[in-house]
Amino acid sequence: ASFILHETCKMSIPRNAISKTKSYCKKKRQHKQMIRHGFSCHYNAVIIFALVIFATGFLANREISVVFALVVPYYLATSSKHSKSRDFLSLCSTPLLVDSTTTENTSYHSPLSMGIDELSLILNGRGRALAAWDCYRQGIDPCLFYSSSLLQEEGAFTAKFPKSRVNQGLGKDSLQRLKNAFPHNPQQGIIEHCVASLSHSSTSNDGTTKLLIKMAKDGLEVETVIIPWEKRKRSTLCISSQVGCRQGCTFCATGRMGKLRSLSSDEIIVQMYYATQLCRSPNSNLFPIDNVVFMGMGEPADNVDNVVRACRILTDRQLFQLSRSKVTISTVAPTPKAFSDLAAAQCTLAWSVHVVHDETRQFLIPTFNPKIYTMQQMKVELCRVLNSSHLASKRLRTIMLEVALLDGVNDAVHNAIDLAEFAQSMIDQVQGLKLVVNLIPWNDIGTGSRSYNTPNPSAVKDFQNALTERGIYTFIRTTRGDDDSAACGQLATTRLPTASKAKIEE
């Protein structure tokens, strides 16, 4: 009973409660009345739960207690004499602007993964929330920027702010509320101490930069990679969704780590925060980030809630402002349900197929069990999702089939022919589908329980030709960062010799 009352008081105000209140509020008082409306919701919820708990405690018959516990809240929520209690019904049934996370113990989130409406309630003003996100979007901590005269002197920061908010400040009270909104270390109130810190940075010969990010919660570390593209003057960010991975892919360094825990939405977004911070550094040769791929450490399908929330923050036009088609979620799809779960992010999906034969795929991915779900069953579900209303835009009706090519395992021409038939059947089932096959020559991850070899370049080219001859668009992924263990499949949190502390801070 105490837990229910406590959690009820902590419930956030849903989107429709905010919009409903706005329609009755005067412009100058709307935020204050929104907050009062929220407290009204909480007060009604507490009263209803208190009545239920009080009544059920005195009823001896268990069946009557259950009926009473179900009927009374409904009566109070729908009765005309208790019209305000309908706010409680709305509070319980309406999702937040960004769905709250529920995976493991990572359900907390800080201002770094809050939408404008959520943050405006905390800061008591929409303009203040927008000003805070002007900073986050550039990899700047607003708690430092608006409280430090040294940082405010840097005109390069404010040059990218909207003209209407160049002189916008948060004020002492707003800064304190922003600091208190962090669930960890609110006394410090800065991202480095409350969410995560950048503990290491290294750059390979081709410019690919790997970041080692240490979580403030428990000190665990994840890796994220910035891949610059000289031709288009932009960078791709490869981010992680978990510390380790439970799928155990035998050719992947992360799979050999095992799963330690899932990342919260904050800990996913903070990778974008630090990468953006590094890219805008005047001493950096990195280009701005316009593309994000969930192809780092972890399986997104095992951390759906946090991944979906992070994708909504990345693609919100008032937050990180990325195009939905520029955010790709890669999954091995532990179950067919993974496709529909991840499609809720409204971003591009990539399926790590590797091979279409059930037995060979189980050899490569031990958690794949063809006795439960075959590749054909997985394909049917994926096509159903691509045809469904999960994807609001037909532009997102794109699927990437990823294949890590291993010498003597899945790089033969007959494997390519089977994959072409598999892909063509998907194209036939989904109208307007844009299907791309991404071939990834295996990158050496060191010795392990099973030894693999990188395929011969001629074998990779033959594999590609077999697909293109059958009308399947195919490209070979360029290996980037392999000399620094930053290439695909090589990510694992083993601390390399660090660069100087001064360089990292710079």
Reported as a single tens digit per residue, the pLDDT across 59-95 is 545 444 444 455 444 444 444 334 433 333 333 333 3
Go through the chain and tell me how many residues it has: 506
Note if 223 is an active site residue.
Answer: yes
Pick the catalytic residue from 135, 194, 221, 223.
Answer: 223
Phi and psi at residue 227, to the nearest 5°:
-115, 105
User: At residue 66, what are phi and psi to the nearest 5 degrees?
Assistant: -65, -45
What CA–CA distance (Å, rounded) separates 107 from 204? 35
Q: Is 194 among the catalytic positions?
A: no
Integer Rg of the chain from CA? 25
What lies within 8 Å, CB to CB, of 292 at 6+ separation is: 236, 237, 239, 272, 314, 322, 326, 327, 328
pLDDT, tens digit, 9 for 90 and up, residues 262-297: 999 999 999 999 999 999 887 788 899 999 999 999
The tens digit of pLDDT for each residue in 211-263 reads 999 999 889 999 999 999 988 899 999 999 999 999 988 888 887 888 899 99
453 Cβ contact partners less than 8 Å away, ≥ 6 residues apart:
406, 407, 408, 442
Reported as a single tens digit per residue, the pLDDT across 151-175 is 444 555 555 566 556 566 788 888 8
pLDDT tier, 107 (very low <50, low <70, confident <90, very high otherwise): low
Maximum CA extent, the chain: 79
Residue-wise burial string across 308-326, b where 16 or more C-beta atoms lie within 10 A, e elsewhere: bbbbbbbbbeebbebebeb
